Structure 1
Amino acid sequence: MKRVLFAALAAASFGLPAFAGDQYIDSTGFAVSGYDVVAYRDLAQNPVGSAQPAAVPGNAAYTAEHNGATFAFSSAENRDKFAANPEYYAPQYDGHCAYGVSKGGKVPGNPNLWRIVDDKLYLNITKNVVGFWEEDIPGNINLAQGNWPEIEPADASKNVIPNFTSSAPEQG
């Protein structure tokens, strides 16, 4: 009986978000460098091996709080969608690089290096890393899911995203 109960609890926990600290925030002071996480769902996703469309900048007039961070949105409608279901829209691993997490580390994710897999938003840090990530996306997600709960909460805000210049969301 205990085994069945433990198995049921373990299975149920896979549906819950795993947290290893606060959302990554860069010098803009916003999660995902101030880009609109809801807008990714409206962008045409390119095939593996191709660059994704650029992320949509948020606007400081439309914000919402989640996981210790302020998210910016391009419209009030997107802010409201996020507020109704933040776990659906927020990037996995608190905005850290998905490939880095699969390797057991915690580095920032670049909002322009993204992919939605199984209805979840993943970010990576550099174009080279995207290539490694895309060699085995399901395997890397599996590794990252196993690593994420064990990664020590750390202040990754001190890390910068290579070859990326973030700017604060435009004022409304």
Structure 2
Amino acid sequence: MRRQILIMFVAFISVTTFGQTAAKRIADFNLDKKTAIQGYDPVAYFTQKKAVKGKATIVATYEGVTYNFSSQTNKDLFLKNPAGYEPQYGGWCAFAMGDYGEKVEINPETFKVLDGKLYLFYNAFFNNTLKSWNRDEVNLKKKADANWKKIIN
């Protein structure tokens, strides 16, 4: 009897913790109808070194956030290590997160893979923030990491 109660308690905690995590991620991440990166394939940034639009028919959800993929192979790679392919800072502009700690939209075709992590940037109206990021990457990354921790905690 004690064992059953313990198992039920652990299951309840797991479900409620996941639910809170998923809800928090949905609230904090840059999503369009719960889909990240405006439907672009997160794995393609690493494997093809370019932004590739995913297909609405090849999807996976990780802790409440949905990703589209351009191929089943990319989806399978993602499912083996979802956290490794997710964009940093919830998919918001890395420069804005570092410069002033704000959630700013991105252009999914303006990106950088650095130390095995995906960073996305705003790029519109003659303002490509990737160029600004590159000028002070070390400091901006430290600030962005700290600012994002404040948002997600």
Note whether the superposition's TM-score is higher than 0.5. Answer: yes
Letter in 1 for 2:95: Y
Considering only CA atoms, is the larger Rg found in Structure 1 or Structure 2? 2
Q: Distance in 2 between matches of 1:24 and 1:136?
A: 24
How far does residue 120 in structure 1 lie from its aligned partner after superposition? 0.3
Match for residue 102 of structure 2 among 102, 105, 109: 105
1:121 aligns with 2:134: no
Higher strand share: 2
Q: Which residue of 1 aligns with 2:145?
A: 145
Q: Structure 2 unaligned runs (5+)?
A: 1-23
Letter in 2 for 1:35: Y
Q: Distance in 1 between matches of 2:58 and 2:32?
A: 18
Q: Which residue of 1 aligns with 2:13?
A: none
Letter in 1 for 2:39: G
| Per-residue Cα deviation, 1:27-75 (whole angstroms, up to 9, x for no partner) | 6x5210101010111234xxxxxxxx4x101011110002422100011
Contact 1:22 1:68 in 2 (8 A): no
1:61 aligns with 2:57: yes
| Per-residue Cα deviation, 1:67-124 (whole angstroms, up to 9, x for no partner) | 4221000111111111111110010011011011102111122210100011100001
| Alignment TM-score, normalising by the size of structure 2 | 0.73
Match for residue 30 of structure 2 among 24, 27, 32: 24
How far does residue 24 in structure 1 lie from its aligned partner after superposition? 1.1
How far does residue 125 in structure 1 lie from its aligned partner after superposition? 1.0
Moved beyond 3 Å, runs of 4+: 19-22
Letter in 2 for 1:82: F
Q: Which residue of 2 aligns with 1:170?
A: none
Q: Structure 1 unaligned runs (5+)?
A: 1-18, 45-52, 154-172
Q: Distance in 2 between matches of 1:67 and 1:93?
A: 15
Higher helix share: 2
Q: Which residue of 2 aligns with 1:88?
A: 84
Moved more, 34-43 or 114-123: 34-43
Structure with larger RCO (C-alpha < 8 A, sep 6+): 1
| Per-residue Cα deviation, 1:112-160 (whole angstroms, up to 9, x for no partner) | 010001110000112431221110112211111111111378xxxxxxx
Letter in 1 for 2:148: W
CA RMSD in angstroms, aligned pairs only: 2.0
Sequence identity of aligned pairs in percent? 38
Q: Which residue of 1 aligns with 2:73?
A: 77
Contact 2:28 2:151 in 1 (8 A): no
